[in-house]
């Protein structure tokens, strides 16, 4: 190849090959189909419903007292669920209910300690275990037995 031929070879425009463009289009179409299938699987696993923004929205309390009340109720419910889980763990490990009181949850005996400390809020509620039922005793209002409380009438955590 002479110097002139090699210069002409370098100047040539690439050949516009329609087969390569067709392959690229098919590859892109396959990627889009795979993404659509993954999206459909994701929707089916989430129950087919996209999350609503109002479900995750935080509401602003009407007053500081209302905010404190909501926080107390949430803390009480969380504490109740923590102790209930510790009860279930104790039953699974030992095959029976723990004794009345709180020592079983924080003791190293019988598979423990299941809790670092027994949850309590001296101002508004107390969670008690009598050997048979887990109770929430609010400072004002009616105690709940076996649940964190009811809305009507207000009992347990909801009355705290």
The two structure tokens encoding residue 92: 């699974």
Residues linked to residue 127 through DSSP beta bridges, in sequence order: 136
Side-chain-facing half-sphere of 44: CA atoms under 13 Å:
6
- Measured CA to CA in angstroms, residue 69 lies from 13, 64, 81, 93, 144 at distances of 76, 9, 18, 36, 18
Listed by start position, the domains of the chain span: 65-159
Read off the pTM: 0.55
Instruction: Count how many residues are written for the chain.
Output: 160
Q: How much is the pLDDT for 37?
A: 92
> Rounded to an integer, what distance in angstroms lies between the CA atom of residue 51 and that of residue 54?
9
Q: Which of 125, 132, 133 is nearest to 157 (CA)?
A: 125
pLDDT at 57: 56
Per-residue confidence (pLDDT) for residue 145, from 0 to 100 = 79
pLDDT per residue, tens digit, the chain (160 aa), is 565 565 655 565 555 666 666 778 888 999 999 999 999 888 888 765 555 555 555 677 678 877 777 888 888 888 888 888 888 888 888 888 888 888 888 888 777 788 888 887 667 888 888 888 888 888 777 887 777 667 767 677 776 5
Which is nearest to 93 in space by CA: 81, 80, 107?
A: 107
């Amino acid at each position: 190849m002479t110097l002139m031929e090699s210069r002409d070879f370098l100047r040539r425009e690439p050949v516009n090959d329609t087969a390569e463009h067709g392959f690229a289009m098919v590859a892109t179409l396959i990627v889009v189909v795979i993404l659509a299938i993954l999206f459909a699987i994701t929707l089916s696993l989430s129950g087919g419903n996209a999350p609503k923004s109002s479900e995750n929205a935080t509401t602003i309390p009407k007053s500081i007292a209302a905010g404190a009340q909501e926080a107390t109720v949430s803390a009480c419910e969380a504490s109740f669920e923590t102790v209930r889980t510790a009860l279930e763990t104790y039953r699974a490990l030992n095959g029976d209910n723990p004794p009345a009181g709180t020592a079983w949850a924080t003791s190293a005996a019988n598979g423990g300690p299941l809790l670092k400390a027994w949850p309590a809020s001296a101002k508004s509620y107390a969670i008690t275990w009598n050997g048979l039922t887990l109770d929430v005793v609010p400072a004002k209002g009616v105690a709940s037995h076996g649940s964190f409380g009811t809305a009507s009438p207000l009992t347990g955590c909801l009355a705290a």
